[in-house]
Amino acid sequence: MLSFDGLVAVCVLYVLILFGVAFIAEKRAADGKARWLNSPITYTLSLSIYTTAWTFYGAVGSAVRNGLEFLTIYLGPTLVFIGWFWLLRKMVRIGRAQRITSIADMISSRYGKSGGVAALVTLLSVIGATPYIALQLQSVTLSFSVFADGGAFGAPNADQTAIWVAAGLALFTIVFGTRSLDVNERHPGLVSAIALEAIVKLAAILVLGVFVVWGVADGPANMLARIEASPVNNAAWNGARWLGLTVLAGAAILCLPRMFQVLVVENTDERHLATAGWAFPLYLLLISLFVVPIAVVGLEMFGPEANPDLFMLTVPLLLGYDGLALLVFLGGFSAATSMVIVAALALSTMLSNHIIVPFWLRLTRHDDPMSGDMRRVALTARRLSIAGVLFLGYGYYRLSGGADALADIGLIAFLGVAQILPALLGGILWRGATRVGAALGIGSGFLIWVWLLLIPNIAETGGIMPAILSDGPFGLTWLSPATPLGLQATDPLLTAMVLSLGVNTLLFILGSLMSFPSPLERLQGAQFVNVYDHSQPLYGWQGATGAADDLLVMAQRILGAGRAGRLFDTAAEAQGRTGGLPEPTPDFLERLERELAGSVGAATAHAMVAQIVGGASVSVRDLLAVADETAQIMEYSIQLETKSEELAQTAARLQEANAKLTALSRQKDAFLSQISHELRTPMTSIRAFSELLMQDEGIDDEMRARFSRIIHDETLRLTRLLDDLLDLSVLEHGRVTLHEGEAVLCDVLDRALRAAGAQAGDGQLKIIRDRQTEAVTLWTDADRLTQVFINLISNAQKYCDAAQPEMVISVRQMPGRIQVDFIDNGSGIPARQQALIFEKFARADTARGAPGAGLGLAISREIMLRLGGGLSYVAADHGTRFRVRLPLRVPRAA
Amino acid sequence: MGGRILLIEDEGNIREAIGFILSRAGWEVQGHGNGATAIEAVTRTKPDIIILDIMLPGLSGFEILRALREDADLALLPVLMLTAKGQARDQEAAFEIGANAYLTKPFSNADLLATVARLAQAHVTGDRT
């Protein structure tokens, strides 16, 4: 028999080998050389931490006690890997896309990054895992004690063994689990050590199985006969329990923090999952293949009194096969340690991320969570957590005193973490799931589980049964764990499972339906449920090198070919790869991101680089930041658009004003030119004749009188011109005072005709009127109206070219207004000039030579506008026809 | 001096004043008040000098002058332009088209006589060469 010292030496050697493997793997991975590390087989083997010492040794014990029931523990995961492969794949994809660090992170990310939910899941996981870790320690110490009964140091001290094992595991986990904070950096050393342990585990049980079937029994036929005869075959079949345990094991493989760690966090390539889909069930099959033969043989050899959990060791030992026993011992040791290492790693991540660091941040009001200081804090928190988790496990082991009841803790722990299942499945499959629903479901399930299973188990382990448990709190028996809801639970585990998961699921659904998700939750929900729409698969590390091309294309698009080229060349040179593309190292990516950020914004730059290099590690936070930036840019562009529109409008207005000013200036020039002409013409006559008079040479009196007369007339003409100009100016721009009053149209016409010297018999122009129609009383400025009429009549006197000039004045009354037409029998105004006659200084060609500056009609029109009427020329076949329109209105005073 | 002057001017009083002044200086002055018929009047009267107003009914003084200069027989006729607008660009335009002299209304009688005399002199010497 191997001495205790020898056993310790073997253990230390084995652990040293594990350290070595892990160390080499780390180093090779850092150099990018370890191809075997990045293989689906390594991934599958790492999943085998599912088979802990509890299943390694305990399966045989379970077979002795309950027949084939132990198979359910393997059946659940097998069904999940085969039937729910799509769900595993979705979890892996989400974990990658969202940079998930743990199962608690997964749940909290899905429910709007809720810190409360994360802390709840963490708490649940730690509470569930602590007894489980204790179980592993117990199995190791137990196997020690069985194996070595004495040595140089006497009987082994179980407690001392346990604490050494715990400390060693803590050290290992700290060394290989907390080298770096980065989640993306996996733990290749740790994973490879676990893979090695998985092989040892499988080899041990297979060798022992072959030994039992062919060494102890006479081959398979003999073995089957022995099984037939064994009491193992007589175990009662309990369908409900089978179903329950299968479901429980299936839930555990999805929810156990350590399983999540190897399944999702340590996954390097999504395609590895496809291999694990068949290889992991195969592993489980091989592990369980010889359980029954070993149980049967053990039972035959030791009888029902012996501890069947130790048959794996006692059978080869009794038969004197120490080497084989040592291999089995190492297998069990591997099963225990690998589980503890990964569990401690996963739990420490959760503890540090969701409880210690948030608490520390709140305590210190730290502003910059990414500072170096903060990274040290997080790393320290993780290391302390690992030590803490193992210490908890050790503490629980000491408290329980290695009681038999510890064996039940495996299934109890399974049910504890299974409380996460509804929120996990709901979060992945149902967009309507909310944080409130998740918290209610997990919380209620957790409480029921603690009350119905955990506390009674602890009490039983401690050998006490307080009244509060047996009779229920406050004497309410329906609340007692023994009789929940008054049920006489024949199987407390199943009862607790149905109750806790039932209430959990119900509250999860109700809570989700009755609460509204926050925007972040809604977005995360979409990201989880529709993860395949939003992300790229991760195909190992080699994907990153191929990304350099894509990065260059993107950089060229954003920075321009020249700048992008220089950036990449410089980086390649710095990496010593002149002429090629640079490796997308973190340094280079950071630099690239900074450059891009100058053009597209930091969040967008990060998202773009991550999209190419990180294989769709664009989180919702990134997307929200991008959306914010985009919204800002759009805001700016809308503002710019509005501004440029305003500018365009202003420019148009300015152009319009400019054109108006130019036109006005031209009009002013033309007007001044006209005035100059109208003033200089009479002045020319005045000057010429006055000079003649002054020289006084040979001018007779008659001539003298004539010249004086001309000078006089031209002076009057000048005065009239100035009067007209001033009148027009006042009418056009000034305030005209109208002296309105009652006036009869007939009287006004009489006055005008008299003033123009066109009374009947006065002059050449014959006036034809109808006095009856003229008997209209107007409310108007009679003087101004007379002025207009005089102008029209005198125009006819001047310009009517008929042999017998005539003018008809016709009055027509219309609703609300009156119309007075002045029609002469002359040749009229040519069509092309009709539009001009109302302009200042405009005179029809036919009017040339006639006196008048051409302001009369312009003035008349202004007057008529002031009087509320109008003056227009009516084109007709014969004669000139001017139409005066006047409003018929009641006196304002009345 | 002496010779025939055609005065194309629409203002009757100005025609009378210029006619009187130049007649006393020994010129035979023919008045014409319409732009449209001015060219015809030139060919009919065959004047030695033309005095031409710019603002005329029918055809402007510029147009009449341009027509004269394009006519080989009349191209060398001395033309004195009269204008009441008095702007520099009118004067430039007149010389460009081929006016020989230019007077802005109102003018002194002495200026009118001197200008006409100068034109007559130039025309005579021009003939001899």
Residue A626 has pLDDT above 80, yes or no: no
Tokens for A815, please give them. 């609703």
Virtual CA dihedral for A474, A479, A481, A483, nearest 10 degrees? 120
Backbone angles phi, psi at A679, to 5 degrees: -80, -40
Query: B17 and A680: CB-CB below 8 Å?
Result: no
Enter the pTM of the model: 0.56
How far apart (Å, rounded) are the C-alpha atoms in residues A887 and A156? 129
How far apart (Å, rounded) are the C-alpha atoms in residues A876 and A256? 106
Mean pLDDT score, A837-851: 59
- CB-based contact B111:B51 (threshold 8 Å): no
The minimal CB distance from B105 to the residues A684, A710, A846 is found for A684
Any CB–CB contact under 8 A between B60 and chain A?
no
Query: B105 and A848: CB-CB below 8 Å?
Result: no
Hey, how many other C-beta atoms are within 10 angstroms of the C-beta on A147?
Answer: 25
pLDDT per residue as tens digits for the range A415-424: 888 999 999 9
How far apart (Å, rounded) are the C-alpha atoms in residues A234 and A238? 12
C-alpha distances (whole Å) from A146 to each of A211, A216, B15, B77, B79 are 20, 21, 152, 149, 146
Mean pLDDT score, A667-691: 87
Query: Which residue is closest to A703 within chain B, CA to CA?
Result: B20
Amino acid at A87: L
A169: which residues sit within 8 A by CB, 6+ positions away? A337, A340, A341, A344, A390
Tokens 């081959």 sit at which residue? A219
Amino acid at B108: S
Query: Which residue is closest to B11 within chain A, CA to CA?
Result: A849
The SS3 assignment for A441 reads: helix
C-alpha distances (whole Å) from A627 to each of A98, A531, A607, A666, A695 are 18, 19, 11, 57, 98
Tokens 């939750």 sit at which residue? A521
Which of A168-182, A209-223, A632-646, A812-826 shows the lowest mean pLDDT across its residues?
A168-182
- CB-based contact A826:A800 (threshold 8 Å): yes
- CB-based contact A344:A173 (threshold 8 Å): yes
C-alpha distances (whole Å) from A691 to each of A683, A695, B16, B119 are 12, 6, 14, 22
Higher pLDDT, residue A252 or A482: A252
At A151 the pLDDT is 40
Tokens 């969701």 sit at which residue? A354
Residue A257: name the closest of A393, A107, A98, A377 by CA: A107
Residue A162 has pLDDT above 90, yes or no: no
Higher pLDDT, residue A840 or A500: A500
A813: which residues sit within 8 A by CB, 6+ positions away? A773, A776, A819, A888
Please give, rounded to a whole number of angstroms, the shortest distance from the CA of A728 to a CA of chain B: 21
- pLDDT band at residue A191, thresholds of 50, 70 and 90? confident
pLDDT per residue as tens digits for the range A518-565: 777 777 787 788 777 756 555 443 344 456 777 787 777 777 778 888
Most confident of A138-147, A688-697, A733-742, A762-771: A688-697
Query: Which residue is closest to B59 within chain A, CA to CA?
Result: A845
Any CB–CB contact under 8 A between B33 and chain A?
yes
Virtual CA dihedral for A225, A229, A231, A232, nearest 10 degrees? 10
Pairing relationship of beta strands A806-814 and A817-824 according to DSSP bridges = antiparallel
How far apart (Å, rounded) are the C-alpha atoms in residues B25 and A692? 13
Between A and B, how many residue pairs show a Cβ–Cβ distance under 8 A? 74
Which of A16-20, A469-473, A800-804 shows the lowest mean pLDDT across its residues?
A469-473
Q: What residues of B are in contact with residue A677 (Cβ under 8 Å)?
A: 55, 84-85
C-alpha distances (whole Å) from A22 to each of A37, A173, A176, A178 are 11, 11, 7, 13
Alpha helices for A738-802 (secondary structure H)? 745-756, 782-799
What is the percent of chain A where pLDDT is above 90? 15
How far apart (Å, rounded) are the C-alpha atoms in residues A163 and A186? 28
Backbone angles phi, psi at B102, to 5 degrees: -150, 130
Residue A620: name the closest of A509, A521, A474 by CA: A521
How far apart (Å, rounded) are the C-alpha atoms in residues A353 and A115? 10
Q: In what order do the strands lie in the sheet with A870-873?
A: A766-769, A806-814, A817-824, A881-887, A870-873
Residue A854 DSSP class: S
How far apart (Å, rounded) are the C-alpha atoms in residues A605 and B109? 92
At A478 the pLDDT is 63
At A464 the pLDDT is 67
Residue A378 has pLDDT above 90, yes or no: no
Any CB–CB contact under 8 A between B95 and chain A?
no
Query: A689 and B12: CB-CB below 8 Å?
Result: no
pLDDT per residue as tens digits for the range A105-114: 888 888 877 7
The SS3 assignment for B3 reads: strand
The minimal CB distance from B21 to the residues A688, A714, A848 is found for A688
Following DSSP, what letter does each residue of A456-517 receive, concatenated?
Answer: HHHHHHTT---HHHHT-GGG-GGGSTTSGGG---SSHHHHHHHHHHHHHHHHHHHHHHHS--
Q: What residues of B are in contact with residue A686 (Cβ under 8 Å)?
A: 106
pLDDT tens over chain B, length 129 residues = 578 999 999 888 999 999 999 998 899 999 998 888 888 888 888 899 999 998 887 788 899 999 988 888 888 889 999 888 767 777 888 888 889 999 988 999 999 999 999 988 876 665 433
**Sign of the C-alpha dihedral computed for residues A311, A312, A314 and A320 taken in this order:** positive
Residue A686 has pLDDT above 90, yes or no: yes
| Residues facing residue B31 across a β-bridge | B7
Which of A232-241, A306-315, A329-338, B115-124 shows the lowest mean pLDDT across its residues?
A232-241
Please give, rounded to a whole number of angstroms, the shortest distance from the CA of B111 to a CA of chain A: 11
Residue A493 has pLDDT above 80, yes or no: yes
Query: B13 and A848: CB-CB below 8 Å?
Result: no
At A894 the pLDDT is 41
How far apart (Å, rounded) are the C-alpha atoms in residues A682 and A853? 11
Query: B14 and A698: CB-CB below 8 Å?
Result: no
- CB-based contact A581:A552 (threshold 8 Å): yes
Residue A150 has pLDDT above 50, yes or no: no
Hey, how many other C-beta atoms are within 10 angstroms of the C-beta on A519?
Answer: 10
Mean pLDDT score, A669-693: 88
The SS3 assignment for A773 reads: coil
Q: Is A109 exposed, middle or buried, given 0-12, 13-18 or 19+ CB atoms closer than 10 A?
A: buried
Mean pLDDT rounded to a whole number for chain A: 81
Amino acid at A118: A
How far apart (Å, rounded) are the C-alpha atoms in residues A751 and A773? 17
Please give, rounded to a whole number of angstroms, the shortest distance from the CA of B14 to a CA of chain A: 5
Q: What residues of B are in contact with residue A673 (Cβ under 8 Å)?
A: 85, 87
Any CB–CB contact under 8 A between B63 and chain A?
no
How far apart (Å, rounded) are the C-alpha atoms in residues A149 and A155? 6
The residue among A668, A671, A681, A715 with the most chain B CBs within 10 A of its CB, best to mutate, is A681
Query: A677 and B33: CB-CB below 8 Å?
Result: no
At A665 the pLDDT is 86
Which of A49-58, A307-316, A825-834, B56-65 shows the lowest mean pLDDT across its residues?
A825-834
CA B6 from chain centre, in angstroms, equals: 7
Any CB–CB contact under 8 A between B111 and chain A?
no
Please give, rounded to a whole number of angstroms, the shortest distance from the CA of A890 to a CA of chain B: 47
Tokens 């024949």 sit at which residue? A490
Query: B17 and A688: CB-CB below 8 Å?
Result: yes
How far apart (Å, rounded) are the C-alpha atoms in residues A503 and A512? 14
| Residues facing residue B51 across a β-bridge | B7, B80
Chain A residues with a Cβ under 8 Å from any Cβ in chain B: 673, 676-677, 680-689, 691-692, 695, 697-698, 710, 713-714, 845-846, 848-849
Backbone angles phi, psi at B104, to 5 degrees: -100, 130
The minimal CB distance from A849 to the residues B57, B106, B112 is found for B57
Query: B58 and A692: CB-CB below 8 Å?
Result: no
- CB-based contact A233:A225 (threshold 8 Å): no
Amino acid at A798: K
Following DSSP, what letter does each residue of A830-890 receive, concatenated?
Answer: -HHHHTTTTSTT---GGGTTSSS-S-HHHHHHHHHHHTT-EEEE---SSS-EEEEEEE---
Tokens for A838, please give them. 């109302």
Residue A860 has pLDDT above 70, yes or no: yes
Query: A683 and B109: CB-CB below 8 Å?
Result: no
The minimal CB distance from B17 to the residues A689, A697, A845 is found for A689
Tokens for A93, please give them. 């994809």
Mean pLDDT score, A625-631: 68
Helix axes of A53-66 and A115-147: crossing angle, nearest 10 degrees: 70
The minimal CB distance from B85 to the residues A676, A688, A689 is found for A676
Higher pLDDT, residue A787 or A27: A787
Q: Is A5 left (phi over 0), alpha (psi -120 to 50) or beta?
A: alpha
Query: B57 and A848: CB-CB below 8 Å?
Result: yes
At A795 the pLDDT is 85
How far apart (Å, rounded) are the C-alpha atoms in residues A540 and A759? 116
Residue A204 has pLDDT above 90, yes or no: yes
Tokens for A325, please give them. 């026993």
Q: Measured at the alpha carbon of residue B32, what is the angle toward residues B30 and B33, in degrees to the nearest 5?
A: 150
How far apart (Å, rounded) are the C-alpha atoms in residues A7 and A13? 10
Please give, rounded to a whole number of angstroms, the shortest distance from the CA of B126 to a CA of chain A: 30
**Sign of the C-alpha dihedral computed for residues A190, A191, A196 and A202 taken in this order:** positive
- CB-based contact A176:A189 (threshold 8 Å): yes
pLDDT per residue as tens digits for the range A214-257: 888 888 888 888 888 887 777 777 788 889 889 999 998 999 99
Mean pLDDT score, A593-616: 69
Following DSSP, what letter does each residue of B45-61 receive, concatenated?
Answer: H--SEEEEESS-SSS-H
Which of A202-206, A351-355, A359-363, A791-795 shows the lowest mean pLDDT across its residues?
A359-363
Q: What residues of B are in contact with residue A687 (Cβ under 8 Å)?
A: 106-108
At B128 the pLDDT is 38
Q: Measured at the alpha carbon of residue A206, what is the angle toward residues A200 and A211, in degrees to the nearest 5?
A: 125
Q: ipTM score of the complex?
A: 0.92
The residue among B13, B14, B107 with the most chain A CBs within 10 A of its CB, best to mutate, is B13
At A208 the pLDDT is 92
Query: Which residue is closest to B86 within chain A, CA to CA?
Result: A676
**Total number of residues shown for chain B:** 129
